[in-house]
């Protein structure tokens, strides 16, 4: 029950896929224009990684820097935010 309550009250960031970077990592943008990405390229990153990282200089080709906070979750939306 404790886990259900924890998941119910987590903050969710809505993301939109904007492409891949120079290393073929999937890149996303949130409602505030912050760019997020996975740390590794490859197939099915959502199934292999549970965290996204802020991109350095908020650039599509920047390096993954800071991980998403533990109390945040994300949802990848289709189309516009």
**pLDDT on residue 80:** 64
Split the chain (81 residues) into runs of 10 and give each run's mean pLDDT.
52 94 95 94 77 96 95 86 59
Give the 3-state DSSP-derived string for 25-72, with helices as H, strands as E and coil as C. CEEEEECCCCEEECCCCCCCHHHHCCCCEEEHHHCCCCCEEEECCCCE
- pTM (2 decimals)? 0.80
Mode of pairing for the β-strands spanning 11-20 and 72-77:
parallel
């Amino acid at each position: 029950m404790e886990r259900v309550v924890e998941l119910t009250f987590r903050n969710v960031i809505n993301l939109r896929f904007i492409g891949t970077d120079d290393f073929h990592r999937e890149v996303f943008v949130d409602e505030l224009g912050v760019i997020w990405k996975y740390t590794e390229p490859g197939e099915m990153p959502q199934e292999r990684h549970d965290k996204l990282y802020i991109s350095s200089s908020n650039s599509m080709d920047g390096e993954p820097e800071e991980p998403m906070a533990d109390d945040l979750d994300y949802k990848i939306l289709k189309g516009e935010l």
